[in-house]
């Protein structure tokens, strides 16, 4: 990576958007934390100078740094204007792309970054976009020596690195992992900005093209070590957590599976099977979610239905998604726990006709997932990309977070910033 001659080490693209403003705030915090080190030169980028200036002023006020707006660059560019994206990319070592839905706005940024020798990180949770970008741009990125790393937010670094962490902490061979995400909300409840809702609507509305893409890729299956991991029922009960659960419908499973393929094919590691779930608490929450899910699946199948879903997110999601997003009070009172239950074989005990004889439980804990944890994760991924260059894959390319960061200090960085990886238990059975 050629980083030294660029004007800015980091550029936050879409910094005036709902999530982008929190990412800009997190970069400013990182700049404060690094004041004893070489100065972190960074910029914000977007269509409106006035909006970007207001974001910097709000961040300056929140962090008590009145000089901040004069220290941060402003780059005017537009997704619809390739020349402006080229100019933005030429000034950056790493672009943090916060402009979604990525299926509509992500590819021009990746193209501009590759053509101008710039690495790029995004927080996409859209499997179709992530997998398509790999097939279209992996070889081009490798030729340029740049790193394009998708899903570097809550989708899917806690899950992807959580599986790698579990594997590294097990004294033997990990063969399968189930993760359970629990969201803890305060008295004012939980709310998510409708940008995430839009991505889900468009993604589920285009499932057939994702299946077509996977069929056309014609990848040979990754070997299954030990017993095949059985899928749970759409609604199942997790005894260990004393809670009902449903499958997690984000990008985590797609991302983890791609990482495990990379680790197996490139680093000759034993692949891990993976399934992801969300806990729902009691039966009342399950019933409420069932109705929301049925409405969603019914409307998402046709164009008019998708328009209604996008126009009235609060109504169709039973209040979980809104155009305003969460309040500061809601974010302050919300946190997440992701619990990983793994199984495998102790050293010297193989899968040939033997049942798994090792169990391990690990956790990743952190603050509110969408707009507190995601900016922390994204910025630390970018800092890892800048500083742990010798531990990255030898050549550039389009990578999952686990493939890019499995040998870096990213987990240590996250632990230091309130996203904690820990072992709960490990035993032979």
Token pair for 57:
């002023």
> For residue 159, what pLDDT is reported?
98
Q: 101: cis peptide before it, omega within 30°?
A: yes
Say how far apart CA 96 and CA 10 lie, in whole Å: 7
Number of H helices, E strands in the chain: 18, 16
Q: Express each pLDDT in 17-32 by its tens digit.
A: 999 999 999 999 998 8
- Would you say residue 250 has pLDDT above 60? yes
> For residue 429, what pLDDT is reported?
64
Contacts of 352 (CB under 8 A, 6+ apart): none
Concatenated DSSP letters for 400-423?
-HHHHHTTSSHHHHHHHTT-EEEE
Provide the edge-to-edge strand list for the sheet that holds 243-247.
Answer: 236-238, 243-247, 273-281, 172-184, 335-346, 358-367, 420-428
- Do the beta carbons of residue 100 and residue 72 sit within 8 Å? no
Where are the extended beta strands (E) located within 73-163?
A: 73-76, 92-97, 119-122, 147-149
Q: Express each pLDDT in 78-110 by its tens digit.
A: 999 999 999 999 999 999 999 999 999 999 999
CA angle 244, 247, 252 (to 5 degrees): 130
Query: Are 8-153+376-405 and 157-373+414-428 in the same CATH fold?
Result: no
428 phi and psi, to 5 degrees? -95, 140
Element (H, E) at 322: strand 321-322
Concatenated DSSP letters for 144-198?
HT-EEE---BTTBHHHHHHHHHHHHHSSEEEEEEEEEEEEE-BTTB--EEHHHHH
> For residue 45, what pLDDT is reported?
98
Domain extents in the chain: 8-153+376-405, 157-373+414-428
**CATH architecture group of domain 8-153+376-405:** 3-Layer(aba) Sandwich (3.40)
Report the pLDDT averaged over residues 22-46. Answer: 86
> For residue 405, what pLDDT is reported?
98
Question: Among 213-217, 223-227, 332-336, where is mean pLDDT lowest?
Answer: 213-217
Say how far apart CA 284 and CA 131 lie, in whole Å: 36
**Higher confidence at residue 39 or residue 107?**
107
> For residue 286, what pLDDT is reported?
78
**Higher confidence at residue 289 or residue 42?**
42
Q: Express each pLDDT in 290-348 by its tens digit.
A: 777 787 888 888 888 889 999 988 888 877 888 889 999 999 999 999 999 999 999 88
- Would you say residue 3 has pLDDT above 70? no
Question: Among 172-186, 276-290, 405-419, where is mean pLDDT lowest?
Answer: 276-290
Report the pLDDT averaged over residues 153-159. Answer: 96
**Higher confidence at residue 190 or residue 409?**
409
Report the pLDDT averaged over residues 189-215. Answer: 85
Report the share of the chain in percent with pLDDT over 70: 97
Question: Among 29-38, 244-253, 403-412, where is mean pLDDT lowest?
Answer: 29-38
- Coil, helix or strand at residue 205: helix
> For residue 375, what pLDDT is reported?
98
Report the pLDDT averaged over residues 135-154. Answer: 97
CB count within 10 Å of CB 375 equals 27
> For residue 296, what pLDDT is reported?
83
Q: How confident is the model at residue 15 (pLDDT cuts 50, 70, 90)?
A: very high
Mean pLDDT over each residue of the chain, to the nearest integer: 92
> For residue 1, what pLDDT is reported?
55
Check if CATH label 3.30.360 holds for domain 157-373+414-428: yes
Contacts of 322 (CB under 8 A, 6+ apart): 191, 192, 193, 194, 313, 314
- Would you say residue 4 has pLDDT above 80? no
- Would you say residue 370 has pLDDT above 60? yes
- Coil, helix or strand at residue 124: coil
- Would you say residue 35 has pLDDT above 80? no
């Amino acid at each position: 990576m050629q980083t030294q001659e660029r004007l800015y080490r980091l550029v936050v693209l879409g910094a005036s958007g709902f999530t982008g403003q929190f990412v800009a705030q997190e970069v400013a915090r990182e700049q404060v934390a690094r004041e004893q080190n070489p100065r972190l030169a960074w910029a914000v980028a977007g269509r409106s100078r006035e909006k970007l200036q207001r974001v910097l002023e709000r961040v300056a006020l929140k962090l008590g740094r009145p000089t901040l707006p004069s220290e941060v660059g402003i780059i005017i560019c537009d997704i619809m204007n390739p020349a402006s994206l080229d100019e933005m990319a030429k000034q950056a070592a790493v672009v943090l792309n916060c402009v979604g839905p990525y299926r509509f706005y992500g590819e021009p940024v990746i193209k501009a970054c590759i053509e101008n020798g710039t690495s790029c990180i995004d927080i996409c949770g859209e499997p179709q976009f992530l997998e398509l970008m790999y097939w279209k741009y992996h070889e081009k990125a490798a030729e340029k020596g740049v790193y394009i790393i998708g899903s570097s937010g809550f989708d899917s670094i806690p899950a992807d690195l959580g599986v790698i962490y579990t594997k590294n902490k097990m004294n033997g061979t990990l063969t399968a992992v189930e993760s359970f995400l629990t969201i803890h909300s305060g008295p004012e409840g939980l709310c998510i900005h409708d940008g995430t809702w839009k991505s889900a609507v468009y993604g589920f509305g285009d499932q057939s093209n994702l299946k077509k893409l996977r069929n056309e890729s014609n990848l040979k299956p990754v070997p299954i070590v030990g017993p095949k991991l059985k899928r749970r029922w759409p609604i199942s009960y997790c005894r260990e957590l004393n809670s009902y659960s449903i499958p997690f419908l984000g990008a985590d499973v797609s991302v983890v599976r791609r990482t495990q393929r990379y680790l197996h094919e490139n680093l000759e590691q034993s692949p891990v099977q993976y399934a992801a779930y969300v806990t729902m608490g009691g039966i009342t929450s399950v019933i409420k979610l069932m109705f929301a899910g049925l409405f969603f699946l019914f409307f998402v199948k046709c164009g008019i239905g998708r328009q209604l879903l996008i126009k009235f997110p609060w109504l169709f999601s039973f209040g979980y998604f809104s155009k305003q997003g969460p309040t500061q009070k809601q974010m302050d009172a919300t946190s997440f726990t992701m619990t990983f239950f793994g199984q495998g074989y102790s050293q010297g005990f193989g899968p040939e006709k033997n049942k798994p004889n090792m169990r391990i439980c690990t956790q990743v804990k952190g603050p509110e997932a969408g707009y507190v944890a995601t900016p922390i994760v994204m910025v630390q991924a970018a800092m890892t990309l800048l500083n742990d260059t010798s531990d990255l894959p030898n050549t550039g390319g389009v990578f999952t977070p686990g493939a890019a960061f499995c040998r870096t200090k990213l987990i240590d960085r996250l632990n230091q910033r309130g996203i904690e990886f820990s072992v709960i238990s490990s035993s032979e059975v």
